[in-house]
Every structure is written in C-alpha cells, then in structure tokens.
Amino acid sequence: MAEQVNIFIDNKPGRLNAVTAILRDHDIDIRAMTIADHRDYGVAKLLVNDPHAAQRALAEHGFAAALQSVLAVAIADRPGGLHALLEILAQHAMNVQDAYGFVAVPGQRAIWCMEVAEPAAAASLIAAAGLEVLDDSELYRP
Amino acid sequence: MNVPVWNPAVEFMEREALERLQLVQLRKTVEQALKTPFYRRRLGEAGLTRPEDITSLRDLRSIPYTTKDDLRAAYPHGLLAVDLEQAIRLHTSSGTTGTPTVIYHTRRDIDHWTELVARCITATGASARDVFQNMTNYGLFTGGLGLHYGAERVGMLVIPASSGNTSRQIQLMKNFQTTVVHATPSYLLHLHASLASEGVDLEQLALRKAFIGAEPHSEQTRRKIEELFGIAAYNSYGLSEMNGPGVAFECVHQTGLHLWEDAYLLEVVDPRTLRPCAEEETGEIVLTTLQRQATPLLRYRTRDLSCWMGGHCPCGRGHRRLARIKGRSDDMLIINGVNVFPSQIEDVLMKTPEVGTNYLIQIEKRGSLDRLTVKTEIYAKLFTGDARTLEDLRERLGEALRSAILVKPVVELHEPGSLPVSEGKAKRVVDLRPAF
C-alpha cells in the first residue's frame, strides 16, 4: 500500500517554506499535498516520490514527520469517476476520514488518496469492483 | 470627627495603647504557636520556648520568618494550634498539583475576621442601607465568604452572586438596585463593557461603590472604574494566609489602605537582605497574626511588595496605611484575580508525555480580562499525523491545567524545538499586560 508523509507545521510565515526547502535539497518530488489548518498549527500530508527519504530528511531537521499508509485508487478523470468509487464504499458503510485527489493524465486518469478505518478490507472490495488500487512504485513515479 | 466608623474604640485607639495591645496579643500568639508541632520546633531552634521570652515588640525580630514553603511542609495539620473539634472552617489554597496550604479557623477566628471586614466596609461609608452584590468566588477562595460575612454583620442586603455569569450579574444589579459591589478591577471593566450588549443603561442601575481587590492595579485603573460607572472604588488587600480580605482597606479618603494593627503586625523588609525598610521604602510585606487561635502565623513572608505610607489620614484612624500593592517578590502570577505559580503549569506539562519539555506561558489583556496562553511543543516521536489525536491532547491539557490552576488557558501546540529550551535561564513567562 502507498505511504504519505504527515508533517506538523507551525502556522506562521516561513515554516511551510522550510519544509519545501528540505525536500528540494533532498531531490524529492511532490506529487500531491494537502494542509489542514488547526489555528496554531497545521498538518500537511504529502505524496512524494520517496516517502521514506522525505520522512528521514524532515525528522533530521527537527520536524515531527510520520509515514502513514494511504489507500490510493485510480479513477477515471471524467464526470462520475469519483462517484463510482465512493458508491462502493457507501454500499459497505465505509467512512472516508480524510482524502485528496489529483489528476495524473488529464481527461483520462485521476488518483484518489484516502484514509479509511480498515484499509486492507477497503482495498479488496475496491479491487473486486474492478477499480485499480495503486501500490507505491506505480504511484510515486510520474 | 464625622467619618463612618464600625468600632471607634479600636479604630481610634491611641498609638501607645495600640502598641500595648499588640505586645499582649503577640505573646498570646507565640503561646498559641508553641502548641503547633511546626512552631515548637522552629521557635525552639531560635531559643524561644515560652511566650514570656517576648518582652517588647522589638523582640519580634528574634522570631524566625515563616514562608509559604513552611506552610506546605506543615500541611495538613502541622500548624494547627487547637483541637480539630474547635475548628469550624478551613480554607485551602487552590490547585490540585503541588502541596496546598491550609488555614483553620475557630468560631472566634471567624467572628474576628468578620469584625475586620465590617470595619473595612463601614470605613468606605457603606452601611445597612446598601444592597451588596458579592461578585467574587465563594468556596475555598476567601474573597467570597470573607466579604459575605462582613457585609451581613454590617446589615447590608447581601446578594451572594459569586463570580462570572456577567449577564446574570447585570440583571441582579438592575432588579435589586445594587448599590455596592465587590469584584476584581478587571472584572468590573469587563462588566462595564458588557452593559451595552445586555441592553442595560447605567441609568437603570443604582451603583454607588465598588470594593476592588484580589489583583494588583494602578491608581489609573481605579480612576477609570470610577469614571466609567460614576462611583467610588475602594482598594482592598488581603491574602488567604491572613484570613483573606479585611487585612487592609481604604477609607472614604482613598489615600492608602489602613492596616488593622490590632489584628496584624506589619513589617516591610528588603526581600533579598531582609533588612527592615524605612517608611515609604518599598519592600516585602511580612505579617504576624495577633488574634488568630487556630492557625497563628509569625512573620509570614507574603511576597507582596509595598510600603508604609507616612503621615496621617484625615479620617483620624491611628492604624497606619499601606500603599497599594506594587508587585510580587516571587514569580507568582495573578490572572483575573487567581494566583498562579508557573511551576503548577510546568507540573501538568511534565506529566503529559505527548508534549516536550519546552514551554512558554503568555499573559495578555483581551478586552479588560486577562488571557493566559500556554504554548507547548509536541513530542515528535508520538506524532502520527492524526489531527484528532492532537486536538484531543489540546483539550486534555486545557482541562488538566484548568483543574490545577483554576484558570482556563488557551493551549497552543507547536513544532518541536520552536520554544525556548529548558536548560539555563530560559524566559518562560511573557507578561504582555500593561504595567500597573
């Protein structure tokens, strides 16, 4: 299963910039990211080409950074594409806790990353329904 | 002399008679103190084993000081001078962390404390004709019950409103035409700012006087309260170790706080060298109880800074005046009238593994009230990325701090390494309130 890097970032000027500087210096490519604001801090979730190297580099610079498994699914980049996936989860009463998505090939392929309570069970249901669950190697390479 | 007085015989006592009374009472207090395990040892070490060893007020200097740490070490019974059967009340210091302190009272102690508060109330010109709304916390905090008993003895109609709930306070003031209130200065400013949103006009109220205390404040703050409400505000000084309110109070002339010298012996000393300070020289207030049976205290170092005022008050009372409190000689913070030690906050943080050892305490004014912010660092190894866990931690810390210091803080979570490091003399407290 794919992994994302979670980072705790103070909500003040220059901190996010410090994260991207470290990633640049370690030649790490960001494929997608999201930040949730919690007043004094934010939690950034990053999908990168080498999550282990990114986590290590950030931790060495004193950041609280953690790896987390995430369910990445390829969907069609057209109206109803995401709905087809969410329909499967809804039918099995599975809740999406956090999610973000990005377009891989415009008009053809998008990728949806999500956190669910039981990722393994969700992955097999999705695969059984004919959708493609991506592993890390496939996901990190452009 | 036409000033309101509760107990003319004591309040206008000649200096010589007052000092004779002080000596008699000091001996009695030493006798009472020698009944406690703490003082038997402490005074014994100083060669003081009998009350007769005290032959003049100057002998006070041969008595060792008592500190808050002594009170903590003697908790809960080490300073009790009577059988528990004779004690009818106790007040204990706030906080669930650290060792608290306790003061016991016999029926006579409560009666005498009440007498002192009645004197204070009367000295401001308030009387049985007044409706008194007591806006300070009832319970272990001495401000509520202390003023309550004194006001009842004076015969005022007492509304035991306790602290907080501004909307209800304003309704009570309006419905019962409250003429006198007791509150912290910052709360009164807050209350004034809330009048408009409650749809109440000053004209609908009957307020004439306010007793303000529990937190140091400037003359400007007092004048501001007086102008905003169109009332007279009187400064009150007390501390739980010395009963609570009723130690010193302003009379109608508002020129310093008369300290009831038949009940307390006051010394002002340099907090570092312990050298006695001259009149009008600021130092630490050291108090000895002269009337208390259950918990006598000798030369208690209050850590409050002030000085004796020179000259005489136009009211004619012989009891000398203390200047308004100028600050503290220790690190105690007073937040909305509640005493908080930074160590209490540190204790809570150190017991929480999810946060690191660096922290910062910030106090600022928000409107007229104080706001406390506790900034902590998350512990990197326990971070998973789950914001719910972090928000739970924030809530848990806020609740633990509130229960320890009785003030609800804003808890902030920050990156590891972003706050001053714990070694050395890191500045952990940032007080952004304007100096009083």
- In which residue ranges of chain A is pLDDT below 50? none
Provide CATH 3.40.50.12780 ranges for chain B: 8-328
The domain defined by A2-69 carries CATH number 3.30.2130.10: yes
Interface of B with A in 407-426 (CB under 8 A): 412-418
The closest CB to that of A68, out of B380, B384, B413, belongs to: B384
Alpha helices in B68-202 (DSSP H): 68-74, 107-123, 142-154, 166-175, 185-195
Question: How far does the CA of residue A78 sit from the closest CA of chain B (Å)?
Answer: 31
In this prediction, residue B17 carries a pLDDT of 97
CA distance B25 to B18: 10
Cα separations (Å) of B329 from B102, B270, B302, B337, B436? 22, 10, 9, 17, 15
pLDDT tens-place values along chain B, 436 residues long: 478 999 999 999 999 999 999 999 999 999 999 999 999 999 999 999 999 999 999 999 999 999 999 999 999 999 999 999 999 999 998 655 567 899 999 999 999 999 999 999 999 999 999 999 999 999 999 999 999 999 999 999 999 999 999 999 999 999 999 999 999 998 999 899 899 999 999 999 999 999 999 888 889 889 989 999 999 999 999 999 999 999 999 999 999 999 999 999 999 999 999 999 999 999 999 999 999 999 999 999 999 999 999 999 999 999 999 999 988 888 889 999 888 988 889 888 888 889 987 899 999 999 889 999 999 999 988 899 989 999 999 999 999 999 988 899 999 999 998 987 765 556 789 999 987 6
Q: Is A38 on the interface with B (CB under 8 A)?
A: yes
Q: Is B388 exposed, middle or buried (0-12, 13-18, 19+ CB in 10 A)?
A: exposed
How large is the ipTM?
0.89
Token pair, residue B326, equals: 């100028």
Q: Where in chain B is the domain with CATH 3.30.300.30?
A: 335-431
What are the tokens at B131?
Answer: 């409706």
Report the gap between the CA of B373 and the closest CA in chain A (Å). 11
With CB atoms and an 8 Å threshold, state whether B415 touches A15. Answer: yes
Instruction: Confirm or reject contact between B395 and chain A (CB < 8 A).
Output: no
Distance CA B350, CA B374 (A): 13
Chain A residues in contact with B386 by the CB 8 A cut-off are 6
Query: Other CB atoms closer than 10 Å to residue B280's CB: what's the count?
Result: 12
Angle at alpha carbon of residue B306, lines to B300 and B312, rounded to 5°: 110
- pLDDT tens, residue by residue, B66-79: 999 999 999 999 99
* Cα(B52)–Cα(A82) distance, integer angstroms: 93
Contact yes or no for A40 and B412 at CB 8 A: yes
Q: Where are the domains of chain A?
A: 2-69, 71-135
Equal fold, A2-69 vs A71-135: no
Fold for A71-135, please state it: Alpha-Beta Plaits (3.30.70)
Over residues B393-426, the pLDDT tens digits come to 999 999 999 998 889 999 999 999 898 776 555 6
Checking DSSP bridges between strand B87-92 and strand B102-106, what pairing results, if any? antiparallel
Domain B8-328 has CATH 3.40.50.12780: yes
- Do the bridges between strand B300-306 and strand B283-289 make them parallel or antiparallel, or are there none, so unpaired? antiparallel
Residue B387 to residue A36, Cβ atoms within 8 A: yes
| Residue B62, token pair as written in the block | 């041969």
Between chain A and chain B, the number of residue pairs with CB atoms below 8 A apart is 57
Q: How high is the pLDDT of residue B434?
A: 84
Do you find a cis peptide bond into B185, omega within 30 degrees of 0? Answer: no
Q: How far is CA B7 from CA B121, B236, B321, B387, B432, in A?
A: 12, 18, 17, 63, 43
Torsion sign across C-alpha atoms B380, B381, B382, B388: positive
Question: What residues in A contact B391, CB-CB < 8 Å?
Answer: 38
CB B276 within 8 A of CB B123: no
Per CATH, which fold does B335-431 belong to? GMP Synthetase; Chain A, domain 3 (3.30.300)
